[in-house]
Amino acid sequence: MADRSRPLYRVAVTRTPGENFSDGITTSGLGKPERETALRQHAAYIEALRSAGLEVVVLPPDPGFPDGSFVEDTAVVLPEIAVITNPGAPSRTGETASIRPVLAQFRRLEAIEPPGTLEGGDVLRTEKRLFVGLSGRTNAEGIRQLERIVRPFGYATSAIPIGAFLHLKSGVAYIGDGRLIAAPELSGQFKGYEIVTIAQEETYAANCLRIDHRRLAVAKGFPRITEALLRLGYEIDELEMTEFQKMDGGLTCLSLLF
Protein backbone atom coordinates (compact mmCIF):
# COMPACT_ATOMS: atom_id res chain seq x y z
CA MET A 1 0.00 0.00 0.00
CA ALA A 2 1.38 3.41 -0.95
CA ASP A 3 2.24 5.94 1.73
CA ARG A 4 -0.57 8.44 1.24
CA SER A 5 0.95 10.93 3.67
CA ARG A 6 3.34 11.85 0.85
CA PRO A 7 2.26 13.22 -2.55
CA LEU A 8 2.24 10.76 -5.40
CA TYR A 9 4.16 13.20 -7.64
CA ARG A 10 5.96 16.48 -7.10
CA VAL A 11 6.73 17.73 -10.63
CA ALA A 12 4.87 17.81 -13.93
CA VAL A 13 6.46 18.75 -17.25
CA THR A 14 4.11 20.07 -19.94
CA ARG A 15 4.46 21.86 -23.27
CA THR A 16 2.15 24.50 -24.69
CA PRO A 17 0.51 23.57 -28.02
CA GLY A 18 2.12 25.45 -30.90
CA GLU A 19 0.55 27.45 -33.69
CA ASN A 20 0.93 24.41 -35.94
CA PHE A 21 -0.78 22.09 -33.44
CA SER A 22 -3.40 21.07 -36.01
CA ASP A 23 -0.66 19.85 -38.40
CA GLY A 24 0.20 16.91 -36.15
CA ILE A 25 -0.52 13.23 -36.75
CA THR A 26 -4.12 12.12 -36.34
CA THR A 27 -6.42 9.35 -37.47
CA SER A 28 -9.41 10.43 -35.36
CA GLY A 29 -11.57 11.81 -38.15
CA LEU A 30 -13.00 14.33 -35.68
CA GLY A 31 -12.03 17.44 -37.62
CA LYS A 32 -9.38 20.10 -37.24
CA PRO A 33 -8.69 21.31 -33.69
CA GLU A 34 -9.14 24.95 -32.77
CA ARG A 35 -5.92 26.17 -31.14
CA GLU A 36 -7.44 28.85 -28.91
CA THR A 37 -9.78 26.26 -27.43
CA ALA A 38 -6.86 23.86 -27.06
CA LEU A 39 -4.92 26.54 -25.17
CA ARG A 40 -7.83 27.07 -22.76
CA GLN A 41 -8.11 23.34 -22.20
CA HIS A 42 -4.36 23.07 -21.68
CA ALA A 43 -4.45 25.90 -19.12
CA ALA A 44 -7.23 24.12 -17.21
CA TYR A 45 -5.15 20.94 -17.27
CA ILE A 46 -2.18 22.79 -15.77
CA GLU A 47 -4.41 24.31 -13.10
CA ALA A 48 -5.65 20.84 -12.11
CA LEU A 49 -2.04 19.70 -11.67
CA ARG A 50 -1.12 22.78 -9.64
CA SER A 51 -4.20 22.44 -7.45
CA ALA A 52 -2.98 18.94 -6.58
CA GLY A 53 0.25 20.50 -5.32
CA LEU A 54 2.54 19.75 -8.25
CA GLU A 55 5.24 22.09 -9.48
CA VAL A 56 4.40 22.46 -13.18
CA VAL A 57 7.19 23.11 -15.67
CA VAL A 58 5.56 24.66 -18.75
CA LEU A 59 7.80 24.41 -21.80
CA PRO A 60 7.23 26.74 -24.77
CA PRO A 61 5.94 25.42 -28.09
CA ASP A 62 8.54 23.71 -30.24
CA PRO A 63 7.74 25.05 -33.74
CA GLY A 64 9.41 22.14 -35.51
CA PHE A 65 7.08 19.57 -33.95
CA PRO A 66 3.29 19.95 -34.16
CA ASP A 67 2.81 17.00 -31.80
CA GLY A 68 5.21 18.45 -29.25
CA SER A 69 2.55 19.13 -26.61
CA PHE A 70 2.23 15.35 -26.19
CA VAL A 71 5.36 15.26 -24.03
CA GLU A 72 4.58 11.88 -22.49
CA ASP A 73 5.93 10.13 -25.58
CA THR A 74 9.43 11.58 -25.19
CA ALA A 75 10.43 9.83 -21.95
CA VAL A 76 9.64 7.24 -19.32
CA VAL A 77 10.34 8.76 -15.91
CA LEU A 78 10.77 6.45 -12.93
CA PRO A 79 11.79 7.35 -9.38
CA GLU A 80 15.32 6.09 -10.11
CA ILE A 81 15.95 7.13 -13.72
CA ALA A 82 14.52 8.80 -16.83
CA VAL A 83 14.61 6.91 -20.12
CA ILE A 84 14.62 9.13 -23.20
CA THR A 85 12.58 7.39 -25.86
CA ASN A 86 13.01 7.01 -29.61
CA PRO A 87 9.55 7.77 -31.04
CA GLY A 88 8.32 5.44 -33.73
CA ALA A 89 6.66 8.18 -35.77
CA PRO A 90 9.44 9.65 -37.99
CA SER A 91 8.05 13.19 -37.69
CA ARG A 92 8.48 13.01 -33.90
CA THR A 93 12.02 11.66 -33.54
CA GLY A 94 13.52 15.11 -32.88
CA GLU A 95 11.19 15.91 -29.99
CA THR A 96 13.45 14.23 -27.46
CA ALA A 97 16.30 16.72 -27.91
CA SER A 98 14.60 19.50 -25.98
CA ILE A 99 13.31 17.23 -23.20
CA ARG A 100 16.76 15.86 -22.32
CA PRO A 101 18.10 18.98 -20.52
CA VAL A 102 14.83 19.41 -18.65
CA LEU A 103 14.81 15.90 -17.22
CA ALA A 104 18.56 15.94 -16.60
CA GLN A 105 17.86 18.42 -13.80
CA PHE A 106 15.92 15.72 -11.95
CA ARG A 107 17.14 12.28 -13.03
CA ARG A 108 20.05 10.35 -14.48
CA LEU A 109 19.29 9.69 -18.13
CA GLU A 110 19.38 6.60 -20.31
CA ALA A 111 18.08 6.36 -23.88
CA ILE A 112 16.47 4.01 -26.36
CA GLU A 113 18.67 3.70 -29.44
CA PRO A 114 17.81 2.74 -33.06
CA PRO A 115 16.64 0.33 -34.29
CA GLY A 116 14.58 0.29 -31.11
CA THR A 117 11.52 2.52 -31.00
CA LEU A 118 9.54 3.39 -27.89
CA GLU A 119 6.93 6.01 -27.04
CA GLY A 120 5.96 6.83 -23.48
CA GLY A 121 2.27 6.42 -24.24
CA ASP A 122 2.93 2.70 -24.57
CA VAL A 123 4.43 2.34 -21.07
CA LEU A 124 2.08 1.69 -18.16
CA ARG A 125 3.68 1.48 -14.71
CA THR A 126 1.99 -0.35 -11.87
CA GLU A 127 4.36 0.06 -8.92
CA LYS A 128 7.40 -2.10 -9.90
CA ARG A 129 5.98 -3.53 -13.12
CA LEU A 130 6.03 -1.99 -16.59
CA PHE A 131 3.50 -3.10 -19.17
CA VAL A 132 4.66 -1.98 -22.61
CA GLY A 133 2.42 -1.87 -25.65
CA LEU A 134 3.75 -3.52 -28.78
CA SER A 135 2.33 -1.00 -31.23
CA GLY A 136 2.96 0.87 -34.43
CA ARG A 137 5.13 3.27 -32.41
CA THR A 138 6.94 0.86 -30.06
CA ASN A 139 8.76 -2.21 -31.35
CA ALA A 140 10.17 -5.35 -29.74
CA GLU A 141 13.74 -3.98 -29.76
CA GLY A 142 12.63 -0.84 -27.93
CA ILE A 143 10.94 -2.97 -25.29
CA ARG A 144 14.07 -5.12 -24.99
CA GLN A 145 16.24 -2.05 -24.40
CA LEU A 146 13.81 -0.64 -21.83
CA GLU A 147 13.78 -3.95 -19.98
CA ARG A 148 17.59 -3.96 -19.86
CA ILE A 149 17.68 -0.40 -18.50
CA VAL A 150 15.08 -0.83 -15.76
CA ARG A 151 15.86 -4.38 -14.61
CA PRO A 152 18.65 -3.28 -12.20
CA PHE A 153 16.09 -1.13 -10.36
CA GLY A 154 13.80 -4.10 -9.74
CA TYR A 155 11.22 -3.56 -12.48
CA ALA A 156 9.60 -6.43 -14.33
CA THR A 157 8.62 -5.72 -17.95
CA SER A 158 5.84 -7.33 -19.98
CA ALA A 159 5.01 -6.72 -23.65
CA ILE A 160 1.30 -6.30 -24.44
CA PRO A 161 -0.11 -6.52 -28.01
CA ILE A 162 -2.56 -3.62 -28.26
CA GLY A 163 -4.48 -4.29 -31.45
CA ALA A 164 -6.11 -1.21 -32.95
CA PHE A 165 -5.19 1.23 -30.19
CA LEU A 166 -2.63 3.95 -30.94
CA HIS A 167 -0.85 3.43 -27.62
CA LEU A 168 -1.33 1.05 -24.72
CA LYS A 169 -2.53 3.89 -22.51
CA SER A 170 -5.15 4.82 -25.08
CA GLY A 171 -7.11 1.94 -23.59
CA VAL A 172 -5.92 1.37 -20.02
CA ALA A 173 -4.87 3.35 -16.95
CA TYR A 174 -3.50 2.37 -13.54
CA ILE A 175 -5.37 4.12 -10.74
CA GLY A 176 -3.55 2.64 -7.76
CA ASP A 177 -4.08 -0.15 -5.22
CA GLY A 178 -3.90 -2.86 -7.86
CA ARG A 179 -6.78 -1.39 -9.88
CA LEU A 180 -6.94 -0.62 -13.60
CA ILE A 181 -9.45 1.06 -15.87
CA ALA A 182 -9.43 -0.86 -19.15
CA ALA A 183 -11.24 -1.04 -22.44
CA PRO A 184 -12.90 -4.43 -23.02
CA GLU A 185 -10.32 -5.37 -25.67
CA LEU A 186 -7.46 -5.02 -23.17
CA SER A 187 -9.01 -6.08 -19.88
CA GLY A 188 -7.96 -9.73 -20.25
CA GLN A 189 -4.26 -8.82 -20.50
CA PHE A 190 -3.83 -7.90 -16.83
CA LYS A 191 -4.17 -10.95 -14.63
CA GLY A 192 -4.12 -10.33 -10.89
CA TYR A 193 -5.48 -6.78 -11.09
CA GLU A 194 -8.93 -5.47 -10.25
CA ILE A 195 -10.34 -4.25 -13.56
CA VAL A 196 -12.85 -1.45 -13.93
CA THR A 197 -14.06 -2.20 -17.46
CA ILE A 198 -15.12 0.86 -19.38
CA ALA A 199 -18.14 0.90 -21.69
CA GLN A 200 -17.26 0.63 -25.38
CA GLU A 201 -18.75 4.04 -26.15
CA GLU A 202 -16.59 5.65 -23.45
CA THR A 203 -13.28 4.05 -24.43
CA TYR A 204 -11.58 7.44 -24.85
CA ALA A 205 -12.05 8.09 -21.13
CA ALA A 206 -9.94 5.03 -20.26
CA ASN A 207 -6.98 7.39 -20.68
CA CYS A 208 -7.34 9.08 -17.32
CA LEU A 209 -4.54 10.64 -15.28
CA ARG A 210 -3.79 9.76 -11.67
CA ILE A 211 -2.48 13.00 -10.17
CA ASP A 212 -2.54 11.94 -6.52
CA HIS A 213 -3.26 8.77 -4.59
CA ARG A 214 -7.06 9.05 -4.87
CA ARG A 215 -7.38 11.94 -7.31
CA LEU A 216 -7.96 11.39 -11.01
CA ALA A 217 -8.30 13.70 -13.99
CA VAL A 218 -10.92 12.29 -16.36
CA ALA A 219 -12.04 13.57 -19.75
CA LYS A 220 -15.34 15.42 -19.47
CA GLY A 221 -18.40 14.02 -21.22
CA PHE A 222 -18.15 10.38 -20.14
CA PRO A 223 -20.61 10.08 -17.25
CA ARG A 224 -20.65 6.31 -16.79
CA ILE A 225 -16.96 5.95 -15.94
CA THR A 226 -16.99 9.15 -13.89
CA GLU A 227 -19.88 7.86 -11.78
CA ALA A 228 -18.18 4.49 -11.34
CA LEU A 229 -14.98 6.12 -10.11
CA LEU A 230 -16.87 8.38 -7.71
CA ARG A 231 -18.56 5.31 -6.23
CA LEU A 232 -15.11 3.81 -5.68
CA GLY A 233 -14.15 6.86 -3.62
CA TYR A 234 -11.97 8.79 -6.06
CA GLU A 235 -11.86 12.57 -6.27
CA ILE A 236 -12.46 13.51 -9.90
CA ASP A 237 -11.34 16.49 -11.98
CA GLU A 238 -13.37 16.46 -15.19
CA LEU A 239 -11.41 18.23 -17.92
CA GLU A 240 -12.45 19.23 -21.43
CA MET A 241 -10.24 17.38 -23.92
CA THR A 242 -12.11 17.82 -27.21
CA GLU A 243 -9.29 19.49 -29.14
CA PHE A 244 -6.67 16.98 -28.04
CA GLN A 245 -8.98 14.07 -28.80
CA LYS A 246 -9.10 15.35 -32.38
CA MET A 247 -5.34 14.80 -32.49
CA ASP A 248 -5.48 11.29 -30.97
CA GLY A 249 -4.26 12.67 -27.65
CA GLY A 250 -5.45 12.01 -24.10
CA LEU A 251 -4.85 13.25 -20.58
CA THR A 252 -1.68 11.26 -19.90
CA CYS A 253 -0.18 12.47 -23.19
CA LEU A 254 0.10 16.07 -22.00
CA SER A 255 2.54 15.64 -19.12
CA LEU A 256 5.44 13.80 -17.58
CA LEU A 257 4.77 13.31 -13.86
CA PHE A 258 7.40 12.36 -11.30
Residues annotated catalytic, as ranges: 167, 253
Q: What is the amino acid identity at position 198?
A: I
Contact (Cβ atoms closer than 8 angstroms) between residue 149 and residue 81: yes
Q: What is the amino acid identity at position 158?
A: S
Rg of the chain in Å (alpha carbons): 17
Q: What is the amino acid identity at position 14?
A: T
Residue 88 and residue 133: Cα distance in Å, rounded?
A: 12
Contact (Cβ atoms closer than 8 angstroms) between residue 23 and residue 68: no
Residue 32 and residue 247: Cα distance in Å, rounded?
A: 8
Helix (H) or strand (E) holding 46: helix 35-51
Contact (Cβ atoms closer than 8 angstroms) between residue 118 and residue 142: yes
CA 247: distance to chain centroid?
14
- Strand intervals (E) in 4-98: 11-15, 55-59, 75-77, 82-84
Residue 246 and residue 17: Cα distance in Å, rounded?
A: 13
